[in-house]
A and B are shown apart, each in its own frame.
Chain A
Amino acid sequence: MDTTAAIFAVAVFVPVAASLAAILLKPWPRLQTALGAGGAITGAAAGLYCAVRALFLPAPETWNSPWSMPLGSLSMSMDALSALFLIPLFVLFGLGALYAVEYLRPVPRERNAAIPWFYYNTLGVSMALVVVAANGLLFLVAWEIMSLSSFACVLHNHEEEGSREAAWIYLIATHIGAAFLLIFFLVAGAGVGSLDFASIAHHAFSPALRGLLFAIGLAGFGSKAGFVPFHVWLPKAHPAAPSHVSALMSGIMIKMGIYGILRSITLLGHVQAWWGFSLIAIGSVSGILGVLLALGQHDLKRLLAYHSVENVGIIALGLGAGVLGVSYGIPQLAFLGFCGGLLHVVNHAFFKGLLFLGAGSVIHATGTADIDALGGVIRKMPLTAAGFLAGSVAICGLPPLNGFVSEFLVYAAAIKGIGAHNGPVFAICALSIASLALIGGLAVACFTKAFGTVFLGEPRTAAAAHGEAGPWMVIPLFVLAAFCGIIGLAFWKLVPVFAQPVCILTSLPKADIVSELSTFAPSLRGIAIGCVLFLACTGAVYLLRKGLLHKRTVGASPTWDCGYTVPGPRMQYTASSFAQPIVLFFRHVLGPVQTKHMPASTFPKGWSFRSHVPDLLLDNVYTPVFRLAGGMLSKLRWLQGGKTQAYVLYIAMTLIALLVWNFVWPR
């Protein structure tokens, strides 16, 4: 046990220490990069070892530090549930570091090359701490470090106005979420007298308090996970951050919200049915709205960010079904729902990481993230295009990649719910199936749009004609694509891994879970066989085509232009026009804005057309509310006068007040 603890300590301390040391070495940027990346990769490897090991342990591994801290002990614990989150975390953390070696070059002369590394490594490590924390206070501290380091990462391009605005919105959103979490742990800890997870889990809360705590937790963790209506920070923060950070934020950090919800379910015990109903309802809304908003975007990374909203929606659909299964005592439903949700957590980390890194390569090469300015990138960047295509297929949930397997499990859970002969469960599961199907169809629309407009056709602007990314930016893409393929084809072999985490979540006996698993095994094997058959058929058709075209004339000509003599790249369908029918159909939900200046006279001088899909929630709800709040709070501005003496006075007053409260106040 001690060796594992030591290895985990390596995973936590080496990345931070290496990048801290690198900060001092400003004259040698190459050395700084090597230290930062080397530290991250070492830490990732060490952490991965611990996590894989913990996945198979029957009992959680706990480390209690000799240091004490208020409201409990400084304890950490790694069970199978944490391990399931740690594995994609460390994989993506390591690969992102590898990618960033090239992505962060060239470093401007006036900048310290180690600073982004420090924030990146701190972000990775703090998320690992969040997952292993077994005490509320430690959890909150790690959570705050995670939020602040990611805030610093979002500020990477702090010269840009948009970046600063994004970071500001992110900071506000994350702290509102953190406020809920503070209340959550204070209320939970008040009854128990300790913030140790072990003590909270043993405490029997009253049903009303349990429900209240779940609602508070759902708001706090949901704002990190990006559930609608707390999603507004995502599409701002992800595009502003460097791509390897976006990958980590979207792939892992928003999953910390999911982890928090799951952990609070295990802490509160005895789930209530309405938790499941609300999770599924939130999941459907987030899923559908996420993909619809993604369809309307022109910025590649913004589009991907909205897709994260969609994917946490799918995760919520799975987890909601799991909660319903536990509360109504349907073990199959519980197993399938939780298993699907958890697998989608892992899958989304892989394919969304892949997509963000791929998008980063395109942006790095071309200097623009505007989809409608790109086109034909596949010719200059064939490897990146192949990786992005794999990610697109996976995120649409298409066989034979991993997205299909997790969506299959979520579907299977909902189908079990429909057969449960319970009116409300039937209704919510039918909703879940219909929304999953709609999400699936719209995701295909969205990713054919993204892949097709960015990589295919003719370059729309000169910027789109730049070369391939270097090997350090390509290798991570292919490693992640390989993970997608392996999970897609070999999940029936991997599924026992999920027994222990589901066991923790459902508090069902392990034997029950294993028996559910064995009844479901034929389906999983069937998927694998089906996917292999699909690949075999495709291979056969490919060989047939090759044989047929052998020794025949294969000519080349321009694309069919319907007789028009001067077709140009600007005549191609743009991303906006591709999405237009769908955006128009859902106009009551999306509120698209069109600015058009149409040709008027016989010889028109100029015309333009621009469409934009705003985030109605941000524009119509949050902005006015915060403006109002800002207006009211500005009356307290006098407190911050800029005089250092005044600040010292405040500190002294606080100290005196605390002393009075602690010693003098009559008890």
Chain B
Amino acid sequence: MATLSLSTALSPTLALACAPLLTGIIAKTKAFFAGRKGPPLLQAYSDILKLLRKGAVYSTTTSWVFRAGPVVSLGALLACCLLMPFGALGAVLSFSGDILLFVYLLAVVRFFTVIAALDTGSPFEGMGASREVFFSALVEPVFLVCLLALSGPAQSFCFQDAIGKGAQISLVPALLAGFALVVVMLAENARLPVDDPATHLELTMIHEVMVLDHGGPDFAFITYGASLKLWLFGLIAVRAFLPLHAASVWIDVLCTSAGMVVIGIVIGTIESVTARLRLLRVPQLLAGAAALALLALLAQQGALP
């Protein structure tokens, strides 16, 4: 367990401070492809602040579960931030097997988001919730196998050894896992081609439709939580593609930050050039990611060349 020091406290601070920026970069990229000027880079911050200043309106159908949903979800995501190292900057809490805690905390997020959605009794939110649990049930094995491949020959299953300073992975498995992780990131964060957050038709959405009835501070928590989640997944994907051993911690941090900007641009580009897949085709995409993840694991074991 890493003790709390300046460098370990920096990784969650960076996540908390910069996560909405990543959303801004994606929006800018999409605006560039559409030939628009687009919202300012810091738009997400002002959105969240504005929501935090509002009151709240609750549906008469809902119970305390609906109010607990965003709170527990954001709490779990904050705990996830404490587990995640930023490149060579260590995580606040690190132990052998912390990846599992991370994955299951994300499942907590999903569980509470889904039951909050079902609490409204709205058919739309039920539909979104149903799709969410289906796709994430398929994503979860892929995600775990990717991380298993990344966590290297030490098999400590610890972020430190998988994507932190202890990472020692060869090129082929890292690349394979990296591509699978990009798919996982897109699916888990409700991005195209799995889900289109920008659509205005409730029937076609997955994540956005689940939070239709939240407003005010609750919705601020959800928006902020979503950007944190994207940040965390982006970080894992970036480090899969960047298994570097920089001489200095700060070079490493610089490279990782540059990687985060690139991943924002990549997501923006993917969102600009692809259409949303039909829902029936999504499992096929995930099966492809599963194949990549498995090959990564085999390659990491030396079964593949």
Contacts from B to A (Cβ < 8 Å): 1, 52, 54-63, 65, 70-72, 74-76, 78-79, 82-83, 93-98, 100-101, 103-105, 107-108, 110-111, 114-115, 118-127, 129-131, 133-134, 136-141, 143-145, 148, 153-155, 157, 202, 212-213, 216-218, 221, 279, 283, 294, 297, 301, 303
Contact = CB atoms under 8 A, between A and B. Distances in A.
A393 B125 CA distance: 21
Contacts of A559: 59-62, 120-122, 213
A552 B54 CA distance: 8
Contacts of B279: 581
Given A445-B137, A573-B130, A556 B78 contact: no
Contacts of A530: 79, 82-83, 93, 98, 101, 105
Given A537-B78, A578-B130, 4 more contacts: A399-B105, A540-B75, A578-B126, A579-B130
A571 B123 CA distance: 6
A392 B140 CA distance: 19
20 contacts: A397-B107, A399-B108, A404-B104, A412-B157, A438-B141, A448-B111, A448-B115, A456-B65, A527-B97, A527-B101, A534-B76, A537-B74, A549-B55, A554-B58, A555-B55, A555-B58, A558-B61, A560-B59, A560-B213, A573-B127
A373 B286 CA distance: 34
Contacts of B145: 430, 433-434, 437
A275 interface: no
Contacts of B82: 530, 533, 537
B137 A433 contact: no
Closest 8 CB pairs of A and B: A573-B126, A538-B75, A526-B95, A441-B137, A452-B118, A457-B121, A419-B155, A445-B133
A449 B111 CA distance: 10
Nearest to A582: B134
B79 A534 contact: yes
A445 B153 CA distance: 33
- B contact face: mostly helix, strand, loop, or mixed: helix
Given A523-B97, A556-B60, A448 B55 contact: no
A629 B286 CA distance: 45
A411 interface: yes
B101 A556 contact: no
A437 to B, nearest CB: 4
A577 B118 contact: no
Interface string A338-375: 00000000000000000000000000000000000001
A441 B139 contact: yes
Given A451-B115, A560-B212, A538 B60 contact: no
A132 to B, nearest CB: 35
A295 to B, nearest CB: 10
Given A398-B111, A399-B104, A522 B75 contact: no
Nearest to B76: A534
B71 A557 contact: no
B78 A456 contact: no
Given A456-B118, A523-B97, A444 B60 contact: no
A95 to B, nearest CB: 25
A378 B58 contact: no
Contact of B100 (A408, A449, A458): A408
Contact of A452 (B60, B74, B129, B136): B129
A161 interface: no
Contacts of B202: 562
Contacts of B101: 399, 404, 408, 526-527, 530
A397 B110 CA distance: 13
Which of B54, B101, B110, B202 gathers the greatest number of chain A CB atoms within 10 Å?
B101
Contacts of B123: 571-573
Contacts of A545: 70-71, 217-218, 221
